Chain A
Amino acid sequence: MSEVPADLKFLSSHEWVLVEDGVATVGVSDHAQELLGDLVYVELPEAGSVVSAGDSVGVIESVKAASDTYAPISGEIIEVNADLEDSPERINVDPYGDGWMYKMSLEDVEELENLLDAEAYTDSIADDE
């Protein structure tokens, strides 16, 4: 079983969101990195770009496959994890920590209601486990 921290929100497409002080940190779940296997390339959105919830904002590629990543909420990309450029395997090693992808501003708190909580996300991936 992969890890699903209780304090995070999720998209069914496996992105996680942590909201602290009006800033949302986004990454991909432990389950997603397990499915993809060893990651070898991560394409992140540009800092300063403004995105809408559901936009495709990047790609993560493992040896096996490429997978689009989607913005969980609307807002401005404030910062990206530049370490992933040279060390995409951080997502495999620590998906909820060092493997974070980007931080974005939270414009509309109500959008968080559209995300899955840990329990609902766990249910959504149960079939894959």
Chain B
Amino acid sequence: MGNKTPLYQCHLDAGARIVDFAGWDMPINYGSQITEHEAVRGDAGMFDVSHMTVVDVSGAQAKAYLQNLLANDVARLGVQGKALYSCMLNQQGGVIDDLIVYFLRDNFYRVVINSATREKDLAWLASQAEGFADLNIRFRDDVAMIAVQGPHAIDKAIPLFAEHQQQALRQLARFQGVEFDDCFVARTGYTGEDGFEILMLKEQIAGMWDRLLAAGVAPCGLGARDTLRLEAGMNLYGSDMDETTSPLESGLSWTIAMSDARAFIGREALEAQQAAGVAQRFVGLVLLDKGVLRNHLKVVTEQGDGEITSGSYSPTLQKSIAMARIPVGVSGQVEVEMRNKLLKAEIVKLPFVREGKSMLINEGENV
């Protein structure tokens, strides 16, 4: 028996197949993963993401603490409610976790980190707090979260909020959140579609789930969440990067703020890597032959071997796709070793899909 979110009974009621996910009993699907995937691409779907870890960081030194802790710079968060994606690195430049940080108000930030990494992350956050006197780090185990995603997600969700909240939600910009008395809503997600992530007290979340269900939002499991994020070219911690890989070889260079002199954990290691030259790069692959690309399959190139970090089937493209780490300098086609055969795959730009549409172009072609 694993940990259960406050929506566990809702999942059973909706016919979920439950699996263990990092110690949590979570829905993998409610019948068909592909149908759920298509609901998010074409209409609206919702995910229980209450297993994610929410941490509030506050105090006069909250900003300075986060600027030292994160590879991206929270000073970029000028507007109240704004969200920033960042990696949290170790001294060697490896990724301890990836996260979203919201700037809620002066001296108050909300950080959402992964569930599988909860214990080590919380320990790391505490260990790096030394020297910051006016700092409060609060793990919010009193809240739960639903992600409602898809082209119709916002239209279906807004009427479920109180009237005075609806106006603010209609005006909410992308990658921006808004705090109400009883909940926090952000226009963020992990699917490549528009939508909200809704944070509420645990005892209130099932009511929101039921209202979304009644509004025609389809329950979607972790299976669809994975194919959606893969199509959207979004990294998954533990698969696409971990403590042994740097963001520079994980397609995450864009999340590192190094243009000024700001000191942050891992910066020296990243600078050393840049000076020495990064040996591998992170790419998208589309399988040209038949089969399905899987995590850890070997990528064979003329310049040496690479590895698939996330592979699956894309319901939108109806092809197998993957993200992979391959030697720098390889372009065009590569081969993937599968069941003692070499299959052909094409290198493409990420993402594969955005807002329901194929983004497939081969590298070298102009957009």
Name A's B-contacting residues (CB within 8 A). Answer: 34, 37-38, 40-41, 43, 59, 61, 63-64, 66, 92
Chain A's closest residue to B287 (CB) is: A41
Chain B residues lying within 8 Å of A38, measured Cβ to Cβ, are 32-34
Chain B's closest residue to A65 (CB) is: B294
Q: Does B315 contact A (CB under 8 A)?
A: yes
Among candidates A43, A59, A63, A92, residue contacting B313 with C-beta atoms closer than 8 Å: A63
B33 near A37 (CB under 8 angstroms)? yes
Given contacts A37-B33, A38-B32, contact A63 B315 (CB under 8 A): yes
Q: List 7 A-B contacts (CB under 8 A).
A: A38-B33, A40-B292, A41-B290, A41-B291, A41-B313, A43-B291, A63-B312
Chain B residues lying within 8 Å of A59, measured Cβ to Cβ, are 339
Cα–Cα, bound, A66→B291 (Å): 9
A7 to nearest B CB, angstroms? Answer: 27
Given contacts A38-B34, A40-B313, contact A63 B223 (CB under 8 A): yes
A106 to nearest B CB, angstroms? Answer: 28
Cα–Cα, bound, A57→B33 (Å): 27
Contact indicator per residue, chain B 212-231, by CB within 8 Å of chain A (1) or not (0): 00000000000100010000
B290 near A63 (CB under 8 angstroms)? no
B158 to nearest A CB, angstroms? Answer: 31
Since A43-B291, A63-B315, A66-B294 are in contact, a sample of 11 more A-B pairs with Cβ atoms closer than 8 Å, ordered by chain A residue number, is A37-B28, A38-B32, A38-B34, A40-B313, A40-B320, A41-B290, A61-B292, A61-B313, A63-B34, A63-B292, A66-B292
Cα–Cα, bound, A41→B291 (Å): 6
Cα–Cα, bound, A50→B164 (Å): 72
A64 near B33 (CB under 8 angstroms)? yes
The secondary structure that dominates the B interface is mixed
Q: Does B29 contact A (CB under 8 A)?
A: yes
Chain A residues lying within 8 Å of B28, measured Cβ to Cβ, are 37, 64
A37 near B339 (CB under 8 angstroms)? no
Chain B residues lying within 8 Å of A64, measured Cβ to Cβ, are 28, 33, 223
Given contacts A59-B339, A63-B227, A63-B315, contact A43 B290 (CB under 8 A): yes
A79 to nearest B CB, angstroms? Answer: 20
A26 to nearest B CB, angstroms? Answer: 20
Name which of A34, A41, A43 has the most chain B CB atoms within 10 A of its CB.
A41
B223 near A37 (CB under 8 angstroms)? yes
Chain B residues 247-292 with CB under 8 Å of chain A are 290-292
Chain B residues lying within 8 Å of A61, measured Cβ to Cβ, are 291-292, 313
Among candidates A34, A37, A41, residue contacting B292 with C-beta atoms closer than 8 Å: A41
Chain B's closest residue to A61 (CB) is: B292
Chain B residues lying within 8 Å of A63, measured Cβ to Cβ, are 33-34, 223, 227, 292, 312-313, 315
Chain A's closest residue to B292 (CB) is: A61
A90 to nearest B CB, angstroms? Answer: 14
Chain A's closest residue to B36 (CB) is: A38
Chain B residues 1-50 with CB under 8 Å of chain A are 17, 28-29, 32-34
Cα–Cα, bound, A30→B109 (Å): 49
Chain B's closest residue to A89 (CB) is: B34
Chain A's closest residue to B32 (CB) is: A38
B32 near A37 (CB under 8 angstroms)? yes
